[in-house]
Chains A and B, each alone.
Chain A
Amino acid sequence: MYTTELLENRYPCRTDFIRSLYCMVSKSEENFPSAIYISGHTGTGKTAIVKDFLNIHAECENNRTVLVNCVECYTTKILYEHILEELVLGGTRCDNFKEFVEILRQAKNVEQSGFVVALDNADRLRDMDNNILPSLLRLQEFTGLNICVLLISQIPLEKYYCKTGVSEVISLYTPQYTKVETLKILSGNFENTVHMLKCRINDNCDAKVQRNQLVIVEQITQEFYNNYLNIFLSVFYKACRDVPELKITASKCFFTYMEPVLNGNVELSDVARLWRNIAVPLRSSLSQVYMRFDKVESEMLSNHNLEGNPADNSLRKLARAFELPFYGKYLLIAAFLASHNSANQDKRLFVKHHGKQRKRLQSVNAKAKVAEKMSSSLGPKSFSLDRLLAIFYAILDEKVGLTCNLLSQISTLVHLKLLGFVSGENNVMDGSARLQCTVGLEF
């Protein structure tokens, strides 16, 4: 029971999973099940638990274990040799499954009696050779060893049945953590966060302030941190239940949360004011979740008052940072218009009016906005190169020659993935190629 206790301490709220795993694959004197399928969402601790489990397993008994990530194995040979390297311990060559089984069979005489093979991202196995999945599930039968294959994946087992059938598999499910469990896991991070906060204070403040602040930090209790996490989760839990992601964001936001306390503006006990302070930055960082750009986020947190929607803002910033040549810009605009206005409106929009260009653009933009309400959910439509050039000349006041520079700018836009080919990539010149504008209105 030593193993389970260790793992249970390390991974709270996974007692059932760890126990059932331990029940099936524990003592090498007992027979392992031939295959176990472990499924669950991202961030539910499948891989981490199995990894630690295997490490402990390999240490305390005469077992051999291996964890392979199937994404790495783009050919089956790599998969086999990777497994054999750990299980048999030797630079072995192995070309096909038959040799793989043979080499494993020879390992029978070795005093190692239990073997565990864990395959992460097992859904990739379906895309490899057809025989892999069915035969890996029956590896115990083929080799005559006490071997167990653990498959770790995010999709349910129902997606694995192939045409020729697969053998029976025990499946384990790791459910997502509930709010209480998430709170418990995140609160385990308390000491770490406080330590990081101290380091941060040591880094950037002068001595006197530092001492004051450190005194304040010393007063932070687990309860205070839990309170913070409660607030944090009330905002975040609806959008994201991925524990690693929450962990990162929580520790980041904690610094912002502590700022007014450290500055002396707010007392530690004044939860209500702290909540008022943190609410806005929390909401703004909510839109940043899953986007791991550190610098932008910290910037965002500091000047959240100035700009309303940070996600929108970042895109606008990106667009502003995107330098295009003059005609390139007009081409892109023309492409956008061609994508989002229907072709039968072209005549009315671009031919009939002979007024100023600015006016026309505005009206077109307005139309596009109206049309977007109807058609934005349908996605951009495709257009031909001729139509793109026609609109380009219509919205551009000056008459420029159709030089090769202009055409090469179109192809550059395609290269930059601002435009995309829908069909007819091979016959661009004869006019049957269809293009599509892939940038949004904000750009």
Chain B
Amino acid sequence: TRLAEGTPRRSIQLSSIVEQRVFNDDDIINTPKRSKARKSIALPVVDNVKTTEDDEEYTPKKTTQKTPSKGRRSTTKATEAPATPKTPSQKLKMIRSGEIKPTLEKRDSLAGSEKGKTDLQIARERLHVSVVPKSLPCREKEFDNIYTFLEGKIQDQCGGCMYVSGVPGTGKTATVTGVIRMLQQRVAEDDLPPFDFLEINGMRLTEPRQAYVHIYRQLTGKTVSWEHAHALLEKRFTTPAPRRVTTVLLVDELDILCNRRQDVVYNLLDWPTKSAARLVVVTIANTMDLPERLLMGKVTSRLGLTRLTFQPYTHKQLQEIVTGRLQGSEAFKGDAVQLVARKVAAVSGDARRALDICRRATEIADAAASKAAEKGSKDTQQCVNMLHVQQALNEMISSAKVQAIKNCSRLEQIFLQAVVAEVTRTGVEETSFMGVYTQIETIAAFMGAATPTPGRALRICAKLGSERLLICEHSRNDVFQKILLNVSMDDIHYALKVNNTN
């Protein structure tokens, strides 16, 4: 069956779902995230009810409970005693107290083994973004930096702060978690005093104050309201206690935690200053000048000056990263990797992007190889060459706007031309529908096409607006609506000129 054996069997009516939903809403008024999670899964549940009405195991409740910080969604519970059927509210209680852990559904078939795979498939697996290597290439210096900081803090048994910044995809989180793993390994070898590691991610919180709830849950496993969690954490970090171990707190996406009052950020950075806390906070964000730009003076001063900036990867580093992942594999040609590295480094220096493009290139190569095999040609060598990479780059980098304009209908193209003509005539970027319509009349007469009625032109305008080729208002203020061009005028000229010559 889909669900664990412990879940009570019952047939469901719609009314019961509604009831429970109401009950839940009352129950967790402070945690909107949870209610959201419930709603997002309510649909498949109801669907099940409809298709197999008779006797369905029903677990809308528990799916809602624990919103795991790792983003997993709980659907069943395994640790429950099978003999005692429980009401959903009892389950809710257990989940809140952390007695039941969220688990995922198990797959029926086993995952494929390593043996039957081709070279390209193995390369594709290795190139996946989620496969983080043990030691990150090209980040040794940053690794050392963070390592010495954290090791020092843990050994000195004091608290402190560190701010790590850098554009997305430069390995910030991977390096920090790598350092933590290394430190935990040393704790296991008794080289280092033990420490607790907690992590929160600003993006996974519905509200900055939920940070307290998540931190407290990682400490104790219990889910409480944020006020309660805040009070308990405050008590824990301010009152001295013997045999307290150091706590390392990783705060990812710090800028999301900044609200107008900045009380959450302030508390998170104020606790390390308490002598009793023994808390080390490592914060990660994208912008380098975030403390000065967004945070209040008292928060910035507590954040301290221990900062570290992750520079975007150069093409050499990207090349190293990709080749490091492909060690021992013959799937990629050397110049193909170099092309990817150079293209990506020129745009953003994002390692994720480079890996994604490489993966896409392997897929294209796979398709090409299978096609060649179908034709029966002997050249079924599975290898990614320059052409495949070029195709992948075109797919992932090039803009689709020119293609979109080319594939517009005739009247839509006339409309776009009219907007361009009106912009050139008035010299102002923002045009009104009326002016554009007179231009349409002119252009349509010039091209010998029938002039569309204003209503039809409005429909065209709305369609182009919904495709984001134009930016326009609601059509309720019909001829007075403002229209902005969302593509460059050169794009339109290029697209239509090329079209005309064909």
Give chain A's interface residues, CB within 8 Å of chain B.
92-93, 98, 102-103, 105-106, 108-109, 126, 156-166
With A102-B43, A165-B462 in contact, do A159 and B475 touch (Cβ < 8 Å)? yes
Rounded to whole angstroms, the CA-CA distance of A6 and B63 in the bound complex is 55
Q: Which of B18, B46, B466, B478 contacts A159 (CB 8 A)?
A: B478
In the complex, the chain A residue whose C-beta lies closest to that of B18 is A93
In the complex, the chain B residue whose C-beta lies closest to that of A157 is B455
Q: Are A163 and B474 in contact (CB under 8 A)?
A: yes
Q: Are B455 and A165 in contact (CB under 8 A)?
A: no
Q: Are B466 and A158 in contact (CB under 8 A)?
A: no
With A98-B43, A105-B50, A106-B50 in contact, do A158 and B478 touch (Cβ < 8 Å)? yes
- Least Cβ–Cβ distance between B291 and chain A, in angstroms: 37
A-B contacts, 8 listed (Cβ < 8 Å) = A106-B46, A108-B50, A126-B474, A161-B461, A163-B473, A165-B462, A165-B463, A165-B466
With A106-B50, A158-B475 in contact, do A163 and B455 touch (Cβ < 8 Å)? no
Q: Are B39 and A98 in contact (CB under 8 A)?
A: yes
Rounded to whole angstroms, the CA-CA distance of A160 and B455 in the bound complex is 11
Rounded to whole angstroms, the CA-CA distance of A381 and B405 in the bound complex is 51
The answer, yes or no, to whether B459 is at the interface (CB within 8 Å) is yes
Residues of A with C-beta under 8 A to B467: 165
Rounded to whole angstroms, the CA-CA distance of A320 and B471 in the bound complex is 56
Q: From DSSP, what is the main secondary structure of chain A's interface residues?
A: helix
With A106-B14, A108-B50, A161-B458 in contact, do A126 and B476 touch (Cβ < 8 Å)? yes
Rounded to whole angstroms, the CA-CA distance of A158 and B478 in the bound complex is 8
Q: Are A162 and B455 in contact (CB under 8 A)?
A: no
Give chain B's interface residues, CB within 8 Å of chain A.
14, 18, 22, 39, 42-43, 46-47, 49-50, 454-455, 458-459, 461-463, 465-467, 472-476, 478
Q: Are B474 and A161 in contact (CB under 8 A)?
A: yes
- Least Cβ–Cβ distance between B258 and chain A, in angstroms: 29
Residues of B with C-beta under 8 A to A163: 462, 465-466, 472-474
Q: Are B465 and A165 in contact (CB under 8 A)?
A: yes
Report, nearest first, the 9 A-B pairs whose CB atoms are least far apart: A165-B466, A161-B462, A161-B475, A158-B455, A158-B458, A159-B476, A102-B46, A164-B466, A93-B18
- Least Cβ–Cβ distance between A142 and chain B, in angstroms: 12
In the complex, the chain A residue whose C-beta lies closest to that of B472 is A163
Rounded to whole angstroms, the CA-CA distance of A157 and B455 in the bound complex is 8
Rounded to whole angstroms, the CA-CA distance of A156 and B478 in the bound complex is 11
Q: Which of A103, A109, A160, A162 contacts B14 (CB 8 A)?
A: A103
Rounded to whole angstroms, the CA-CA distance of A277 and B49 in the bound complex is 75
- Least Cβ–Cβ distance between B290 and chain A, in angstroms: 33
In the complex, the chain A residue whose C-beta lies closest to that of B465 is A163
- Least Cβ–Cβ distance between B421 and chain A, in angstroms: 23
Residues of B with C-beta under 8 A to A166: 462
Rounded to whole angstroms, the CA-CA distance of A159 and B478 in the bound complex is 7
In the complex, the chain B residue whose C-beta lies closest to that of A102 is B46
Residues of A with C-beta under 8 A to B18: 92-93
Residues of A with C-beta under 8 A to B47: 105
Residues of B with C-beta under 8 A to A93: 18, 22
In the complex, the chain B residue whose C-beta lies closest to that of A171 is B455
Rounded to whole angstroms, the CA-CA distance of A103 and B47 in the bound complex is 10
**Told that A102-B42, A158-B475 touch, could you supply 14 new A-B pairs with CB distance under 8 A?**
A98-B39, A102-B43, A105-B46, A105-B47, A106-B50, A158-B454, A158-B458, A159-B475, A161-B474, A162-B462, A162-B474, A163-B462, A164-B466, A165-B462
In the complex, the chain B residue whose C-beta lies closest to that of A126 is B476
Rounded to whole angstroms, the CA-CA distance of A103 and B18 in the bound complex is 11
Residues of A with C-beta under 8 A to B455: 156-158
- Least Cβ–Cβ distance between A165 and chain B, in angstroms: 3
Rounded to whole angstroms, the CA-CA distance of A164 and B465 in the bound complex is 7
- Least Cβ–Cβ distance between B403 and chain A, in angstroms: 19
Residues of B with C-beta under 8 A to A108: 50
Residues of A with C-beta under 8 A to B459: 158, 161
Rounded to whole angstroms, the CA-CA distance of A166 and B462 in the bound complex is 9
Residues of B with C-beta under 8 A to A159: 475-476, 478
Rounded to whole angstroms, the CA-CA distance of A275 and B472 in the bound complex is 57
Rounded to whole angstroms, the CA-CA distance of A376 and B466 in the bound complex is 45
Rounded to whole angstroms, the CA-CA distance of A162 and B42 in the bound complex is 29
In the complex, the chain A residue whose C-beta lies closest to that of B464 is A165
With A102-B46, A108-B50 in contact, do A160 and B475 touch (Cβ < 8 Å)? yes
- Least Cβ–Cβ distance between A53 and chain B, in angstroms: 26
Rounded to whole angstroms, the CA-CA distance of A267 and B478 in the bound complex is 57
Residues of B with C-beta under 8 A to A158: 454-455, 458-459, 475, 478
- Least Cβ–Cβ distance between B15 and chain A, in angstroms: 9
Residues of B with C-beta under 8 A to A92: 14, 18
- Least Cβ–Cβ distance between A126 and chain B, in angstroms: 6
In the complex, the chain A residue whose C-beta lies closest to that of B19 is A93
In the complex, the chain A residue whose C-beta lies closest to that of B49 is A106
Residues of A with C-beta under 8 A to B46: 102, 105-106
Rounded to whole angstroms, the CA-CA distance of A159 and B473 in the bound complex is 11
- Least Cβ–Cβ distance between B16 and chain A, in angstroms: 12
Rounded to whole angstroms, the CA-CA distance of A67 and B85 in the bound complex is 46
- Least Cβ–Cβ distance between A100 and chain B, in angstroms: 12
In the complex, the chain B residue whose C-beta lies closest to that of A106 is B50
- Least Cβ–Cβ distance between A90 and chain B, in angstroms: 9
Residues of B with C-beta under 8 A to A98: 39, 42-43
Q: Which of B47, B458, B472: most chain A CB closer than 10 A? A: B458
Rounded to whole angstroms, the CA-CA distance of A162 and B462 in the bound complex is 7
Residues of A with C-beta under 8 A to B43: 98, 102
Residues of B with C-beta under 8 A to A160: 475-476
Rounded to whole angstroms, the CA-CA distance of A126 and B462 in the bound complex is 15
Residues of B with C-beta under 8 A to A103: 14
Residues of A with C-beta under 8 A to B475: 158-162
Q: Which of A108, A156, A159: most chain B CB closer than 10 A? A: A159
Rounded to whole angstroms, the CA-CA distance of A166 and B466 in the bound complex is 9
Residues of B with C-beta under 8 A to A126: 474, 476
Rounded to whole angstroms, the CA-CA distance of A161 and B475 in the bound complex is 5
- Least Cβ–Cβ distance between B456 and chain A, in angstroms: 8
In the complex, the chain B residue whose C-beta lies closest to that of A88 is B14
Rounded to whole angstroms, the CA-CA distance of A156 and B476 in the bound complex is 10
Rounded to whole angstroms, the CA-CA distance of A108 and B462 in the bound complex is 34
Rounded to whole angstroms, the CA-CA distance of A408 and B475 in the bound complex is 46
Rounded to whole angstroms, the CA-CA distance of A161 and B50 in the bound complex is 35
Residues of A with C-beta under 8 A to B463: 165
Residues of B with C-beta under 8 A to A161: 458-459, 461-462, 465, 474-475
In the complex, the chain B residue whose C-beta lies closest to that of A101 is B43
Q: Which of B22, B42, B461, B476: most chain A CB closer than 10 A? A: B476
Rounded to whole angstroms, the CA-CA distance of A103 and B42 in the bound complex is 12
In the complex, the chain A residue whose C-beta lies closest to that of B461 is A161
Residues of A with C-beta under 8 A to B42: 98, 102
Rounded to whole angstroms, the CA-CA distance of A138 and B459 in the bound complex is 18
In the complex, the chain A residue whose C-beta lies closest to that of B455 is A158
Residues of A with C-beta under 8 A to B454: 158
